[in-house]
C-alpha cells in the first residue's frame, strides 16, 4: 500500500467507514513508518479540533426580531381571512333582538356585580398584582399572587385575569412560576382561547415539569386540536421519552373512552 492509500484508509477510519481491526493495521503501519505516523496523528488532531469547536450561541435579538416578524405575518394572514369573507346583510329585526339581548345581559352582569362587589374588589386587586408580577423579581411572590388569583371565589368570569395568567405562562423565566400559572389556568380549560394558549405553550415549553402539567391539563379537556398536538409530540423523536410516554398515555386513555 502506498502513502496515498494509507491516507485514504486513515480518513475512512476516522469517518467511521472502516471496521475497528483497521485501527490495529494503521497503528502498526504508523509504528513502522514515520510518514504514516505523521498522517495518522495530524488527521486525528484535525478531527478532534473539529469536534472541539463550540456551538456559537445566538443572541436574544434574533429571537425577538423573528417573533415580531411572525406576529406581523399572522396578523396579515388573519386580516386576509376577514376581508376574504363575504359581508352578510343582517335584517333589522335581528339587530333589535341582538341589542335587546345585550341589554338583558348587561342588566344581568350589573346585578351580579352588585352581589359580588367585594369579590370584584378583591379581583381588581389581584389583577393589579398580576400585572405587576412580570416585573417582580421574587418567584415566591409571583407564585403567591397566582395562587390567590385562582383561590378567589369567582375568578372564571374575569377575562383580564385569564389573559394575565397566559402572559405569565408565556413570558416568565421561572419554571415554577409558569407551573403555578398552568395550575391556575387549569380552571379555565373550558374556554377555547385558554385551551389554544395552553396548546401553544406546550409546543414551545422547554421545562419537562411544566410540559407534564400542560399535558395533564389539556388531557382533561381532550378535543381534536389537542389530539393533533399530542400526536405531533409523540411523533417528534427529539422530545424527551418521558414526555412522549405521558402524551401517549393520554392519547390511549381518550381513544379507549371513544371506543
Partner 1 sequence: MLQIKNGEIGKTAVLFDRYHTSIYNYFMKIHRNKMISQDLTQNVFEKIIKYRSSYTDHKNFRSWIFTIARNANIDEHRKKRPTDACDDYITLSSKDDNAQVVMEKSEKSKQLMRALDLLPAEEKELIVLTKFEKMKFAQVAEILGMTENAVKVKSHRTIKKLRSILVNDIKYEY
Binding region for partner 1 (CB under 8 A): 7-8, 11-12, 41-47, 49-50, 52-59, 61-63, 65-67, 69-70, 73-74, 77, 200, 203-204, 228, 232, 238
Helix axes 3-14, 21-32, angle to 10 degrees: 140
Nearer Cβ to partner 1, position 62 or 90?
62
Of residues 65 and 98, the one with the C-beta less far from partner 1: 65
- Residue 6 beta carbon to partner 1: minimum distance, rounded to whole angstroms: 12
User: Of the candidates 183, 138, 191, 146, which has an alpha carbon nearest to the alpha carbon of residue 164?
Assistant: 146
Task: Return the number of the residue (7 or 25) whose C-beta is nearest partner 1.
Answer: 7
Least CB distance to partner 1 at residue 212 (A): 18
Closest by CA to 204, choosing from 67, 83, 105, is 67
Residue 71 or 253 having the CB closest to partner 1: 71
CA–CA dist 211, 221 (Å, integer) = 16
| Shortest separation between residue 170's beta carbon and partner 1, angstroms | 11
Cβ atoms 166, 194 nearer than 8 A: yes
Shortest gap between Cβ of 108 and partner 1 (angstroms)? 35
| Cβ-contact 180, 144 below 8 angstroms | no
Shortest distance, position 46 Cβ to partner 1, whole Å = 6
Residue 16 gets the label, from left (phi > 0), alpha (psi -120 to 50) or beta, of left
**Shortest spacing between CB 194 and partner 1, in angstroms:** 16
130 Cα distance to chain centroid: 21
Q: With respect to partner 1, which residue has the nearer C-beta, 14 or 119?
A: 14
Query: What is the C-alpha to C-alpha distance for residues 209 and 173, in angstroms, rounded to an integer?
Result: 14
Cβ distance to partner 1 smaller for residue 125 or 223: 223
Distance, in Å, from the CA atom of 219 to the CA atom of 227, rounded to the nearest integer, reads 9
Amino acid at each position: 500500500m502506498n502513502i496515498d492509500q494509507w491516507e485514504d484508509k486513515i480518513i475512512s477510519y476516522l469517518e467511521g467507514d472502516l471496521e475497528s481491526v483497521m485501527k490495529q493495521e494503521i497503528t502498526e503501519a504508523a509504528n513502522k513508518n514515520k510518514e504514516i505516523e505523521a498522517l495518522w496523528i495530524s488527521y486525528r488532531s484535525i478531527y478532534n479540533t473539529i469536534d472541539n469547536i463550540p456551538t456559537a450561541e445566538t443572541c436574544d435579538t434574533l429571537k425577538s426580531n423573528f417573533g415580531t416578524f411572525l406576529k406581523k405575518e399572522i396578523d396579515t394572514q388573519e386580516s386576509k381571512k376577514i376581508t376574504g369573507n363575504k359581508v352578510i346583510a343582517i335584517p333589522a329585526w335581528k339587530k333589535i333582538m341582538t341589542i335587546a339581548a345585550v341589554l338583558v345581559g348587561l342588566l344581568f352582569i350589573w346585578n351580579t356585580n352588585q352581589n359580588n362587589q367585594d369579590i370584584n374588589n378583591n379581583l381588581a386587586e389581584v389583577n393589579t398584582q398580576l400585572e405587576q408580577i412580570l416585573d417582580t423579581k421574587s418567584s415566591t411572590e409571583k407564585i403567591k399572587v397566582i395562587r390567590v388569583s385562582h383561590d378567589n371565589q369567582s375568578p372564571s368570569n374575569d377575562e383580564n385575569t385569564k389573559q394575565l395568567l397566559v402572559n405569565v405562562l408565556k413570558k416568565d423565566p421561572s419554571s415554577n412560576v409558569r407551573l403555578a400559572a398552568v395550575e391556575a389556568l387549569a380552571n379555565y380549560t373550558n374556554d377555547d382561547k385558554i385551551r389554544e394558549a395552553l396548546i401553544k405553550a406546550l409546543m414551545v415549553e422547554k421545562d419537562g415539569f411544566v410540559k407534564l402539567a400542560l399535558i395533564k391539563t389539556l388531557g382533561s379537556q381532550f378535543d381534536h386540536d389537542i389530539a393533533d398536538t399530542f400526536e405531533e409530540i409523540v411523533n417528534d423523536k427529539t422530545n424527551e421519552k418521558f414526555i412522549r410516554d405521558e402524551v401517549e398515555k393520554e392519547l390511549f386513555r381518550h381513544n379507549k373512552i371513544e371506543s
